[in-house]
Amino acid sequence: MTLGTQIPHSPDRDRTPAPGSTAERYLTALRALGVQTLFVNAGTDFAPLVEAYAQEGSGGRYPVPVLAGHENVVAGMAHGAYLMTGQPQAVMFHVSVGTANAVCAVINAARERVPMIVTAGRTPILEDGAVGARDTAIHWAQEMYDQAGMVREVVKWDYELRSAAQVEAVVRRAVSVACAQPRGPVYLTLPREVLAGPATDGPRGAAPVAVPAGPAPDPTAVRELADRLAEARYPVVVTTAAGADPDAVEMLSQLCERYAIGVAEAGPRYLNVPADHPFHLGLPTEAFGEADVLLFLECDVPWIARRGAPRDDAFVAQAGLDPLTSAYPMRTQRLDLGITTATTSLLTALDAAMADRADRIPPERADTLAVRAAEHRHRLEATFAGPTSGAITKPLLSRALAEVLDDDAVVFNEYWADPRILRRRTPGTYFYLPAAGGLGWALPAALGAKHAAPERTVVAAVGDGAYLFANPAACHHASAKHGLPVLTVVANNARWDAVDASTRSVYPDGVAVRTDESRLSDLSPQPAFARYVEASGGHGEEVTDLDGLRPALRRALHAVQVEGQQALLDVRCAR
């Protein structure tokens, strides 16, 4: 947030907003349409909203304001709150500069189809002559020709509120567009003098929001897919984000178990099926060699050619709200059948179609898939088995975290926590960094989740680089301010692993690999991260060896669950 220096003005230009301001009407409309919380990072454009909240009295008419010290934290909190509630969330920033700080988080929300009502003040249009007109020099410097242009490529709709008469219609439009499938953020600018003006004309009351139902699959396509799946020798469903709808988790699990269909996960960003599903085959590359029919369900990047691809003779179907992932400028993985559909709609229709074809399923298929799933589990256990003392590695940290968390705990993972080791089983308990990779997401999202579901244990699993991106001082301040005790586990190896991994991938035999070139990835010397949380009254520890890891995790969980304190473990990991 960037604020200008206030300059004095003459008493005859002081104006008090009239009762029933547009700001009051706007906040009332948000609440009437189900927006319970307004996550904010405020500035000079908020004056009418400040006055409206001051006049609210005991509260209840407007969304509850939740303040955080950085826009990325604000938007991340709204993202996490949506993941817990499934309800649209609203945020507001300070004009152009506040929006600029939040663009990364808005891109994350767009790629994950989060219905976020992103609002920002707009520099007063009028230079004089109205309540809310320009009264500080920064109002000239912060004005842009096209403020919404910063986010237009990733939001579904953008608009500027122009009159009190249209408040309810504009808010209704924003909520309905954001919630229509595929969901996503919208952007609304609010000029200060419009918010400050009287709201005496136009219709009142908020009509119900009409959100179109999600698309249903084409019946002919469902029949073809069911024929292929029923007659296949080795059919596999591959998913990345089916679990974005928690109801889909059980439906997909039962479909695969009932009709002997394997399931694999490509970079899962949600819990899509329980980790102990009897036909869980692991990564899709582990199944590509045998799979003769593949259904890629909500996979924005179904496979990466250099890491493995389906057989040339395999039948490939892709299904989801946007099976071609049309928001991505280039994405050409082949498909033999494409189905535009909501996940649960497809699973419902496919279950019925498969029931009619159950007698065509090869009887030996279930045994084959069960054997392959068991082989996958054995490989996994062998790969991630390790010592119980000595240096800490990220796989060993994942294993320790899995051992101390209960099934209801919610994990927000930004890179290091391996879902294959965490073995989560309950829908809505695992979320991975959004597809856009906008860093600094997990800790703010964990805070928003805790605000929306205070009874849940919430964990942010972050690397040291991602933790720095999260504006940790602002995050821990928000945790203390709003009473949001979350556990942050920092896997700290003092470098950006993603940069090193990319270099190894592109130049496996290059000089950089041979010489361990690290000037663009080395983050040492690292701060004492535990002090960050202690500065906001939380529990902080540095952990350096495996012997101390599990006791430290249990102490941190006790601080969060029993003492109501936020906690952070700075876990020094081997490179």
Query: Over the range 163-173, which residues count as b (16 or more CB within 10 Å of their CB) and which as e?
Result: ebebbbebbbb
Which pLDDT value is given to residue 59?
Answer: 67
C-alpha dihedral, 118 to 123 to 128 to 133, nearest 10°: 40
Rg from Cα positions in the chain: 26
CB contact at 8 A, 110 and 512: no
Three-state secondary-structure class, residue 224: helix
Distances (CA, A) of 5 to 123, 134, 137, 379: 15, 13, 8, 62
Measure the CA–CA gap between 278 and 260, rounded to whole angstroms.
10
The sign of the torsion formed by the CA atoms of 468, 533, 543, 399 equals: negative
What tokens were used for 108?
Answer: 């994350």
DSSP state of 425: -
User: What separation in angstroms does the CA of 115 have from each of 173, 362, 481?
Assistant: 12, 43, 26
CB atoms within 10 A of CB 374: 11
CB-based contacts of 303, cutoff 8 Å, min separation 6:
266, 284, 285, 288, 309, 310, 333
Question: ∠ CA 380-428-212 to the nearest 5 degrees?
Answer: 130
Q: For residues 423 and 411, what is the distance between their CA atoms, to the nearest angstrom?
A: 11
Structural domains in the chain, sorted by start: 11-196 (3.40.50.970), 219-375 (3.40.50.1220), 386-572 (3.40.50.970)
Spatial separation of the C-alpha atoms in residues 62 and 64, rounded to whole Å: 6
93 neighbors 41 (Cβ within 8 angstroms): yes
Which is nearest to 454 in space by CA: 84, 37, 70? 84
pLDDT of residue 199: 83
The owner of tokens 């600094």 is: 440
Q: State the DSSP H helix or E strand holding residue 488, giving kind and residue range, or none if neither.
A: strand 487-492
Residue with token string 């808005």: 106
**572/575 Cα distance (integer angstroms):** 9
Residue identified by tokens 């945790």 is 479
SS3 492: strand
Report whether 255 contacts 222 (CB < 8 A). Answer: no
Cα 414 → chain centroid: 10
Neighbours of 554 (CB within 10 A): 12
CB-based burial, 200-210: b 16+ in 10 Å, e otherwise: eeeeeebeebe
Cα(first)–Cα(last) distance of the chain, in Å? 36
Comparing CA positions, the residue from 273, 217, 268, 222 lying closest to residue 249 is 273
Strand, helix or coil for residue 230: helix
For 289, counting Cβ atoms within 10 Å of its Cβ (0-12 exposed, 13-18 middle, 19+ buried), the class is: exposed
Interaxial angle between packed helices 247-258 and 343-355, expressed in degrees from 0 to 180 and rounded to the nearest 10: 20
Q: What is the pLDDT of residue 74?
A: 98
Please name the residue ranges forming H helices in 237-342: 247-258
Q: In the chain, count of helices (H) and strands (E)?
A: 20, 17
- Please list the pLDDT of the chain residue by residue as tens digits (575 residues): 233 333 333 333 334 334 489 999 999 999 999 999 999 999 999 999 999 999 886 668 899 999 999 999 999 999 999 999 999 999 999 999 999 999 999 999 999 999 999 999 999 988 998 898 999 999 999 999 999 999 999 999 999 999 999 999 999 999 999 999 999 999 999 999 999 999 875 555 556 788 898 999 999 999 999 999 999 999 999 999 999 999 999 999 999 999 999 999 999 999 999 999 999 999 999 999 999 999 999 999 999 999 999 999 999 999 999 999 999 999 999 999 999 999 999 999 999 999 999 999 999 999 999 999 999 999 888 877 778 789 999 999 999 999 999 999 999 999 899 999 999 999 999 999 999 999 999 999 999 999 999 999 999 999 999 999 999 999 999 999 999 999 999 999 999 888 998 999 999 999 999 999 999 999 999 899 999 999 999 999 999 999 999 999 999 999 999 999 999 999 999 87
pLDDT of residue 381: 86
d(CA 11, CA 6): 15
CA–CA distance, 166 with 163 (Å, rounded to integer): 6
Closest to 95 in 3D by CA, of 119, 113, 60: 119
- Of 70, 18, 69, the closest CA to residue 48 belongs to 18
C-alpha distances (whole Å) from 64 to each of 35, 53, 209 are 9, 9, 21
Cβ pair 319, 341 in contact under 8 A: yes
CB 30 within 8 A of CB 62: yes
**Separation between Cα atoms, residue 447 and residue 19, nearest integer Å:** 35
Residue 348, pLDDT score:
98
Per-residue burial over 503-526, b = 16 or more CB atoms within 10 Å of its CB, e = otherwise:
beeeeeeeebeeeeebeebebeeb
**Which run of H or of E encompasses 188?**
strand 186-191
40, β-bridge pairs: 67, 92
